[in-house]
Structure formats: C-alpha cells, structure tokens
Amino acid sequence: MEAFIRDWYWDPASHEFARQMGQFLFEFLDDVDAEGLSERTIHKHTNNCWLIGKFTCDYGYRETFSPGIFRGEPGYLGEFKRKVSDSPAALRSYQATWRKLARYVRRLENG
C-alpha cells in the first residue's frame, strides 16, 4: 500500500489520512475484483482510485478519514480535466469509478 499512497501525503498526519483512505480504497477494489470484471476494467478502476485518493488528499482539506466522503457525486472534476485529461471518455471512466465507490459506501452504511 505504501507504494500506492506515497504521493498522497507530506507529513505524519497526512500520511495517516492517506493510509486509512488507501486501506479503504483497497477494500473497495477487492470488492470490485470479486465482481468478475475484466482485467482491463479492474485496471481502470484501480487507476481512477489512485486519482480519487490523490485529489482527495491534495484538495479535500480533511483532517480525518471517513468513507462517507465518497458518498456524493464525483468530485474534483476540474482537477481531473486540468491535471489528467479533458477527454470525455476518460472523464466518464473516472466518474463511473467514483459512482461505484459511492454505491459501495452506501451499501456498507446500510448493512
């Protein structure tokens, strides 16, 4: 996991936040993997989760991690367009991962 989150933090407090979020995103990706999706689709979700984590750490301004931060609509779309791609297909892929993550959070919350 440390390799996955190494660009997400800059001090001990942000490292702990990144570690907790990374652990949660890995649990989500395990759930995605269990769906039997193609390797290509899982790879896209993994890459998008890295971006979601990076943007959340860089622009989320949170001190404590809670899975509920992913409950709403996809976030950091402007950052995605500026820093990753303004391609409609790439943006749809990122949004699809975020929405899948939001459904996962709601499912966990509802038992």
At 18-72, the pLDDT tens digits run 999 999 999 999 999 999 999 999 999 999 999 999 999 999 989 899 999 999 9
* Encoded amino acid at 98, one letter: W
Residue ranges in the chain assigned as alpha helix (H):
2-5, 12-34, 39-59, 77-83, 88-109
Q: Is the pLDDT of residue 111 over 90?
A: no
Count CB atoms within 10 A of the CB of residue 62. Answer: 13
Q: Which long-range contacts (CB under 8 A, 24 or more apart) does 92-96 make?
A: 93/44, 93/48, 94/48, 94/51, 94/52, 96/48
The ranges assigned to domains in the chain are: 11-109
What pLDDT digit, counting tens, does each position of 77-107 carry? 999 999 999 999 999 999 999 999 999 999 9
* pTM for this prediction: 0.95
* Encoded amino acid at 59, one letter: Y
- Computed over every residue of the chain, the mean pLDDT equals 96
